[in-house]
């Protein structure tokens, strides 16, 4: 689930999640809108505070699409 969807679904204010995970409300706003990528500890804290509803892959939606091919990948 996307962070913005989780905030809306649970009726949680961004500033409240920011307080729980130890960052600024502006950071939560930017992360939830996909304008910035969170660092390791924040990724873990968001997953924890959302009860696993928002996972690391949800915070990096284009990471798989833009990942370089593996060196040993076999073409289909």
Task: Judge whether 24 lies within some domain.
Answer: yes
Give the whole-angstrom CA distance, residue 47 versus residue 51.
6
Res 66: pLDDT: 46
The string of pLDDT tens digits covering residues 19-57 is 999 999 999 999 999 999 998 899 999 999 999 999 999
User: What CATH number is associated with residue 19?
Assistant: 1.10.260.40
Task: Judge whether 32 lies within some domain.
Answer: yes
Give exposure, 34-72, as e/b (b: 16+ Cβ within 10 Å).
eeeebeeebbebbbebbeebbeeebbeeeeeeeeeeeee
Range of the domain at 35: 3-59
Residue entry with tokens 């696993």: 52
Task: Judge whether 38 lies within some domain.
Answer: yes
Give the whole-angstrom CA distance, residue 38 versus residue 43.
6
Task: Judge whether 68 lies within some domain.
Answer: no
Task: Judge whether 72 lies within some domain.
Answer: no
């Amino acid at each position: 689930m996307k962070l913005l969807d989780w905030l809306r679904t649970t009726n949680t204010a961004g500033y409240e999640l920011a307080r729980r995970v130890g960052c600024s409300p502006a950071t939560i706003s930017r992360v939830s809108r996909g304008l910035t990528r969170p660092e390791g500890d924040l990724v873990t804290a968001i997953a924890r505070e959302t009860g696993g509803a928002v996972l690391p892959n949800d915070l990096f939606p284009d990471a798989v699409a833009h990942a370089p091919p593996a060196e040993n990948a076999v073409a289909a």
